[in-house]
Amino acid sequence: MEKEQLLGTTFTCEQVVTPDMTAASAVPGTPNVFGTPILVALVEKTCFMCMDQASAEGEASVGVTLDITHSSPTPVGMKVTCTAKVEKVDKKMVTFSYEAVDEAGVIGTGTHVRAYVQKDKIEAKAAAKLNK
C-alpha cells in the first residue's frame, strides 16, 4: 500500500483493562482506574499498526506529537477500544484523529502525528548518545 492511500482510513485496537494498566500501578496513590499512560500506549499502538500497512522494508513509525484528553475513568475488567483515522499524509508525516471508548462511552480523544523513519538509523542515532 502506498502511504497516500492511508488518507481517510481507520484502524482499531482494543484491550481489556487489567490491574497493571491502572493509574495506581504507574503512580502510587492515584485512582485504581485505566491509566493515562496506558491510554497513550493504546493510541500509539493503534496508529503504529495503521501506518505499518504502508511501511517499506526496514521502515517503522515513531510518535512526534500527541494531544490527548482523558475525560472519563474506566474500571479494571472493562474493554477499551481506540479508533484512529488518518486525517493527513504529508510525505513521511501522518496525522491522526482518534477516539477511545469503553463499554459506557467516550473516555478519550485527541490527535497524534507520527513519522516514518528508517528503523536501523534511528536506533543507531540513539545508541550514539551512549558514546558521548
Residues marked active site are found at 36, 44, 70
Q: Distance (Å, rounded) from C-alpha 84 to C-alpha 9? A: 8
Query: Which cell goes with 12?
Result: 482499531
Q: What residue spans of 7-129 are helical by DSSP H?
A: 23-26, 36-52, 119-128
Q: Is 36 left (phi over 0), alpha (psi -120 to 50) or beta?
A: alpha
Please enumerate, by residue number, every residue annotated as part of a binding site for CoA.
63
Please enumerate, by residue number, every residue annotated as part of a binding site.
63, 114
Count of CB atoms within 10 A of residue 12's CB? Answer: 13
CA 71-65-9 angle, to 5 degrees, is: 80
Please enumerate, by residue number, every residue annotated as part of a binding site for substrate.
63, 114
